[in-house]
Amino acid sequence: MSHPKKPQPVLYFLAVMEREKDFFEGIKDYFTSSLGMVVIKSHTFDFSTFTSYYEQEMGKPLWKTFYFFEHLKEPDFLVELKHECYSLERKYTDSEGKRRINLDPGYLNLAKVVLATFKDYAHRIYLGSSVFAEVTLIYREGSYQDLPWTYPDYKEPLHKAYFNKARAYYKERLSKLDTYVDR
């Protein structure tokens, strides 16, 4: 029989999509008090090559970067972080009320990459406070693997390499849990 227990803390990241390259660099310090410093940053890529979904609202081209943060936190912090991201997106709209930045929070652990969203779908689980979560990559055979609903940019081998690097960082941090845990 299983018994309730506290889950291991997880490593948080933000998938940042922006109209103006490096816009997030000017506001990323907002997250350092809760998530710590950025420890891994992916290359910035043209997200417009993957989808036109955001084009009407945000324009084109759109630049995307993955930022992984140092602090390990409880998985349920994802709900609060999603709302913080939403507030910042609304704060930094343009004069027409259109977003200049899209902040998608998620976390990883040794087994999976989880994303937060306000949109429900068959493969998403409701967490509370209007937030749903989906497992978008699973770790198997030495790397993160796609699922049928994995977004195209998360399927890219180069992007998975960043998640694998972040997983290695996370694994190292877990090995030191006895002496240091961020809450």
* Domain range summary for the chain, segments of one domain joined by +: 10-175
Note the pLDDT of residue 106.
98
What mean pLDDT do residues 47-65 have? 94
Average pLDDT, the chain: 95
The Cα–Cα gap between 171 and 165 comes to: 10
Q: Where are the alpha helices (DSSP H) in 23-156?
A: 32-35, 55-58, 77-91, 152-155
3-class secondary-structure state, position 116: strand
What is the per-residue pLDDT for 176?
87
Q: Is the distance from CB of 106 to CB of 113 less than 8 angstroms?
A: yes
C-alpha–C-alpha distance, residues 62 and 24, integer Å: 13
Confidence of residue 183 (pLDDT cuts 50, 70, 90): very low
Q: Which two tokens stand for residue 141?
A: 């055979």
178 band by pLDDT with thresholds 50, 70 and 90: low
Q: Which residues 6+ apart lie within 8 Å of 26 measured at CB? A: none
